[in-house]
Chain A
Amino acid sequence: MLGYRLMRLFKVTTLFALAITLIGTLANAANAAPGVIDGRDARTNVDNLTKQVYWFNRLRDAEDSARQKGKPLLWVHMLGKIDGAT
Chain B
Amino acid sequence: MSLSNESVLSYLKNNYVCGTFDITGQPYAGVSGRHEINGNAVRTTNGAGPHNIQMFVLAADGTVLHCLPGYWDSQDLLEELSFAQQLNQVWLSSGSPEQKRQTFSRMQLAHIAKHPPAMVARSQMQGFDQQFEARTRLNTSDTILNTALAAQTLQMGGRAPAGAFKTTDVIMHERMAQRPFMPYTQFDVMAYSDYGKTKYDKHEDYRNARGQVDSSARYAPELGTKPDNRRSAYSPDGRIKSVSSYLNRHGVKSFGP
Which residue numbers of A lie inside 8 Å of B, CB to CB?
30-43, 45-46, 48-49, 52-59, 61-63, 65-67, 69-86
Contact = CB atoms under 8 A, between A and B. Distances in A.
Interface string B21-32: 111101001101
A85 B209 CA distance: 23
A60 to B, nearest CB: 9
Pick the 10 closest A-B CB pairs, nearest first.
Answer: A56-B19, A45-B4, A62-B19, A66-B60, A33-B211, A42-B41, A33-B207, A77-B54, A67-B60, A49-B4
Contacts, number: 188
B52 A78 contact: yes
Contacts of A62: 17-19
Contact of B60 (A35, A46, A72): A72
Given A74-B12, A74-B81, A81 B20 contact: yes
Contacts of A45: 1, 4, 41
Nearest to B200: A79
Nearest to A59: B19
Given A63-B62, A67-B61, A74-B12, A42 B39 contact: yes
Contacts of A80: 22, 24, 34-35, 223
A59 B21 contact: yes
B55 interface: yes
B15 A71 contact: yes
Interface residues of B, number: 58
A49 B189 CA distance: 25
A59 B184 CA distance: 10
A84 B17 CA distance: 20
B16 interface: yes
Contacts of B211: 33-36
B156 interface: no
Given A63-B58, A73-B18, A36 B3 contact: no
Contacts of B205: 39
A63 B1 CA distance: 24
Contacts of B223: 79-80, 85-86
A39 B32 CA distance: 17
Nearest to A34: B211
Nearest to B58: A73
A76 B4 contact: no
A84 B26 CA distance: 19
A42 B209 contact: no
Interface in B46-94: 52-62, 65, 81, 84-85, 88
B40 A39 contact: yes
A19 B3 CA distance: 35
Given A36-B41, A76-B56, 6 more contacts: A32-B40, A46-B4, A75-B57, A78-B20, A78-B21, A85-B223
